[in-house]
A and B are shown apart, each in its own frame.
Chain A
Amino acid sequence: MGSQGGFGQSKEFLDLVKSIGEARSKSEEDRIVLHEIEMLKRRINEPDIPKRKMKEYIIRLVYIEMLGHDASFGYIHAVKMTHDDSLLLKRTGYLAVTLFLNEDHDLIILIVNTIQKDLKSDNYLVVCAALNAVCKLINEETIPAVIQQVVELLGHPKEGVRKKAVMALHSFYQRSPSSVNHLVSSFQKKLCDNDPGVMGATLFPLYDLITIDVNLYKDLVVSFVNILKQVAERRLPKSYDYHQTPAPFIQIKLLKILALLGSGDKKSSEQMYTVIGDIMRKSDTASNIGNAILYECICCISSIQSSPKLLETAADAIAKFLKSDSHNLKYMGIDALGRLIRISPEIAEQHQLAVIDCLEDPDDTLKRKTFELLYKMTKSSNVEVIVDRMIDYMISINDNHYKTETASRCVELAEQFAPSNHWFIQTMNKVFQHAGDLLNPKVAHNLMRLIAEGFGEDDDTADSQLRSSAVESYLQIVDEPKLPSAFLQVICWVMGEYGTADGKYSASYISGKLCDAAEAHSNDDIVKAYAVTALMKVYSFEKAAGRKFNLLPECQSLLEELSASHSSDLQQRAYEFQAVLGLDANAIENIMPLDASCEDIEIDKSLSFLDSYVHKSLEEGAEPYIPEHERSGTLSISNIRNQNHYETSTHSLRFEAYEVPKPVVPIGIPATISYPTELVPVPEPSYLLEVQPTLSLAPVSDAGSAGLKLRLDGVQKKWGKPTYSSAASSSTSNSDSHRTTINGATQPDTVISKSRESSSYDSSSRRQPHVEVSEEKQKLAASLFGGTSSRSEKKQSGAAAAGGGGHSKVSRVTNHTEDKVRPVTTVVQPPPPDLLDLGEPTGAMSSSSSAVDPFRQLEGLLDVSQVGIAATPSNGPDLMSLYSDSSTNGQNQSTILNEKDDVNSENTNKRTASLTKGPSLKDALNKDALVRQMGVNPTSQNPNLFSDLLG
């Protein structure tokens, strides 16, 4: 077995690993791997490959796949290897297929048979290997093939097998819940298994089952509480201890289950109080795992119907988390706080300063979590500060996913809590400006609707103020480069609709801006379409009002350009624009009523104006319309499918043949009397209501389908100008019913000046609190948390929200917490130097004396910070302590070493040497020598390769 050293692979493979390790760039690595793939492709298909060789090939395939390349050409060989009798090969085969194949891969079907066989094997290791594969590979379709055997394995004498069988059932459950539902009692039995490992594993499927239906498992609360109590009292074998904590992972899982069971259930919750309280008291806050349990307890407390005492304990624990120096704990504290404020909002207040510290922390993860917390505690009193902060943050990040998330949160909060229209518009502008294209297009349409409708108050002046301030702000923004398309659409629409409404800006000014916008975004057809429609509105309003105007030259040229556009939509808009301009004022006023976007449109769904036409046609012998659902031909074809399918089929391709039009016997005259109402049966009324924008089109398609049974809806949509001419018969009376809507009265000039004043006042008052906030955290605290406290800040922040900025500024300075805050703000430290950065190891190396053992040096380099904390010169040999929290150092080490003993007694090889630090160094040196022998040069690139991971 051409093995070299202790690594057990051929020279060839070691060379491969080595050369990849030395590759300087991704492209070099790729080249090596591609070469390897070529070679393997050739070799693996040779006949009569010795099995051991094949095993190595498979492992090399795994390696290739791990590096991100496609090794699918060798999958089949891995599958074959699972059929082998030798456990060694079988295990390799199973390992490879679990790594290669997803549960929906075609080759799985070839493995199922082997798995079935192996599950019956006498050798429990074979069964284990097969069960590992079962967890990963068996999909919904193949579950029935193995489930019976897996269930039988629950009674296997080896606990390792029982445990894996439970986990396999857990994975079945995740794929197909119904397959495991009948096994609930088996799970409950396994909960009492002698082996704690099996019991622990059983918690996973039970957790799944409980998530689905809590009520079925209420009787288990007592058992879970008992188990948790026993675990916490260290009744489990010592080997389940983890850093002196008894079976922490099992405790955490149990707490998760209890959280589910106690949610909204006072009686169950009460049974848990004692045990949770005990665990929280006992938990070791110095170790990470102790804090993990503590955090899980808080989650549990916030989920169940808690007692005030538990809530208090939870609040204390959170306070400890937040005060900790560790970023991890702060993060958990913020998260826990977010959970707990749902039940007791007043907790947030005492932690305000800690929260603000986290908000300004250099750690982005922590910052983001804190924004999540703020988002949860937003209300109308603090919305301005929070949203301002969120927007600043949103602008600062590049990650699209979180930019979108933050943007939509801003929008949501602004829509929900906006203190004033003006603030709302300004906020939306900012959000759109920086993340417009990431937002759901719906948001843009909501904004347009909001501007059009106002905030629902019946105050016309307020609405028109809103519009004027929107127009004004848009006029300022529109010239900026690189505006997102969605935002430009909003701008164009608003300027078209309301640009000239208050008379402050002339039509030529607005239209000039619109032309500029269209020109500046000449490759964005949608923006151009919005702009040209807006222009059309502006000019028709002018004309309708009887004012003289001249088409701007740039507008003229834009029109000419668009008339020859490749986009038929733009073309049509341009032509319509020209046509509208040619009409007289009266007609225009009917077509383009001022400010009519919010008016209700009366829709004559029954198309009663067509009655006489239909009547006449029928009298002349035309076929009467039969509603779709009554058409027998259609039914016979689609009766296999349900109605649902049929509805969708109207919009998609139909694969069935169209029904032959049945010669219907003309119905007598009496029938026609009731007929008109049936003419347009409106098969999907919901469709008509939902698709509001295309409403005007719907009658056309219906009329079309009545006449010809051609499906026109799709076509109409595509060409959809609201001026549908295809339904010629509908004539002007129809279009009038859509268009003739009453104008909102034009605004008197006095309003304008007023609105202008108020807007400038608003903007100045807005800025002031913002500047303050960045200066002093304490003020931020007041404005963030002020709403929760019943003290004086509340009033002030309320005043700020109302727009009285100047006043609130003064009063906020006198905030009572100020003196307390001072020290906190000054303690802000610069970010610590990057101790672990090993960018230039050579430089660091040269500074230390050369006599020192190189490995210790490396360790020192790696963990300078931790060594510094422990502050003991003899720290070098203390392997584990370098990692772990200082207080538990000694114990950790000893347990690990003891346990190491066990392993060593089983494998009596060189590992006895690793009992103490000295030999372990020797161990490392051995490895070093070995590797040097193989030609890997440690100093060349990564000296850390030789340092112990735990060192």
Chain B
Amino acid sequence: MTGRSLHRFTGDEQSKSSSFTCSLQDAKLLLDSFNHGSWSEGSSETTVKEKVKDKFRDDGVYFSFRIEHIHFVLLISRQGKVRLTKWYSPYSQKERSKVIRELSGMILTRGPKLSNFVEWRGFKVVYKRYASLYFCMCINQEDNELEILEIIHHFVEILDRYFGSVCELDLIFNFHKAYYILDEILIAGELQESSKKTVARLVSAQDSLVEAAKEEANSISNIIAQATK
């Protein structure tokens, strides 16, 4: 192909046109973000995937494996309200809101009989609905979706056991406890423990220690209160 002058009259245009289409795409993105989200405020930041890619492009050494297995965990209610978020890959606050907006738009509108997977910006999001709550996990293209579906269920079963027939309200008011439990199940975006018993044991050990600390604190403050009376 060398030595040809197809672009005899277009050479300089090429460079310009590429920059131009970029800006046009930005404008489109802006439009999209207006159209998509239910409560959208448009913003023209670059897409998450591009960001992530850029991050990896610079240090190509760990491009292939730096990516976590599970990128994030989202719990969204049927109304699109966020109940829990955990990000294993780096996302800025702005990107996070955008991700949530896009995904809730996609997932909440899906019919009941469809598959539990959604493709999204080159990733896959596996979701499952429990009562009015959607549990979503974002994974890579080549991961095993059914496995993730079961990890979600594993998480829910452990929550169920911890809270005793867990319901959405438990998670609303005790989100920090849900975080502790999630930290025992997933770590660095991987399933660290597949035994419910072990997780339960660890969480309750922490809880009992916390209880003990509380009692201690109470008794000390009681003593102080008594002494200062």
B205 near A171 with CB under 8 A, answer no
A114 to B210, CA, bound (A): 20
Residues of A within 8 A of B88 (CB): 136
Residues of A within 8 A of B144 (CB): 252, 292, 295-296, 299
A88 near B65 with CB under 8 A, answer no
Number of A-B contacts (CB under 8 A): 389
Distance of B194 from chain A, by nearest CB (Å): 4
Would you list 5 pairs from A and B whose C-beta atoms are within 8 A, ordered by A residue?
A: A163-B192, A211-B65, A289-B147, A489-B10, A720-B11
Within 8 A of A (CB), among B127-183: 129-133, 144-147, 149-151, 153-154, 156-157, 159-162, 164-170, 172-176, 179-180, 183
Residues of A within 8 A of B130 (CB): 883, 949-950
B170 near A927 with CB under 8 A, answer yes
Interface string of A121-141 (1 = CB under 8 A from B): 000010010001001100000
Chain B interface: which of A146-154, A803-811, A843-851, A938-946?
A938-946
Name the residue of chain B whose CB is nearest to the CB of A201: B192
A485 within 8 A of B: yes
New A-B pairs, 12, CB < 8 Å, besides A248-B147, A600-B4: A167-B187, A175-B62, A176-B62, A211-B64, A365-B117, A486-B21, A493-B9, A693-B8, A720-B11, A903-B162, A927-B169, A942-B132
User: Given A177-B62, A363-B115, A879-B165, is A950 in contact with B160 using a C-beta cutoff of 8 Å?
Assistant: yes
Residues of B within 8 A of A331 (CB): 115, 117, 145
Residues of B within 8 A of A211 (CB): 64-65
B200 near A242 with CB under 8 A, answer no
Residues of B within 8 A of A537 (CB): 9
Chain B interface: which of A441-449, A474-482, A664-672?
A441-449
A63 to B38, CA, bound (A): 21
A485 near B131 with CB under 8 A, answer no
Question: Which of A7, A250, A832 lies in contact with B112, CB distance below 8 A?
Answer: A832
A951 near B165 with CB under 8 A, answer yes
User: Given A99-B86, A486-B17, A924-B165, is A248 in contact with B209 using a C-beta cutoff of 8 Å?
Assistant: no
Question: Which of B77, B86, B150, B201 lies in contact with A248, CB distance below 8 A?
Answer: B150
A149 to B183, CA, bound (A): 21
User: Given A17-B173, A248-B150, A945-B167, is A722 in contact with B9 using a C-beta cutoff of 8 Å?
Assistant: yes
Interface string of A497-539 (1 = CB under 8 A from B): 0000000000000000000000000000110011001000100
A59 within 8 A of B: yes
Interface of A is mostly: helix
A441 near B111 with CB under 8 A, answer no
User: Given A942-B78, A950-B160, is A7 in contact with B147 using a C-beta cutoff of 8 Å?
Assistant: no
A259 to B217, CA, bound (A): 54
A634 within 8 A of B: no
A88 near B115 with CB under 8 A, answer no
B116 near A328 with CB under 8 A, answer yes
Question: Which of A102, A174, A597 lies in contact with B68, CB distance below 8 A?
Answer: A174
Residues of B within 8 A of A292 (CB): 144, 146-147, 149-150
A328 near B202 with CB under 8 A, answer no
B114 near A365 with CB under 8 A, answer yes
A739 to B193, CA, bound (A): 71
B115 near A365 with CB under 8 A, answer yes
A67 to B76, CA, bound (A): 11
A758 to B2, CA, bound (A): 33
Interface string of A926-948 (1 = CB under 8 A from B): 01000100001000011011111
B190 near A204 with CB under 8 A, answer yes
Question: Which of A9, A66, A247 lies in contact with B85, CB distance below 8 A?
Answer: A66
Name the residue of chain A whose CB is nearest to the CB of B160: A950
User: Given A200-B194, A452-B6, A931-B169, is A693 in contact with B86 using a C-beta cutoff of 8 Å?
Assistant: no
A530 to B87, CA, bound (A): 47
Residues of B within 8 A of A923 (CB): 164-165
User: Given A212-B65, A332-B145, is A26 in contact with B150 using a C-beta cutoff of 8 Å?
Assistant: no
A211 to B4, CA, bound (A): 43
Residues of A within 8 A of B145 (CB): 328, 331-332
Name the residue of chain A whose CB is nearest to the CB of B100: A68
A485 near B17 with CB under 8 A, answer yes
* 9 closest A-B pairs by CB: A693-B11, A944-B132, A26-B39, A292-B146, A327-B115, A693-B7, A949-B130, A239-B197, A914-B164
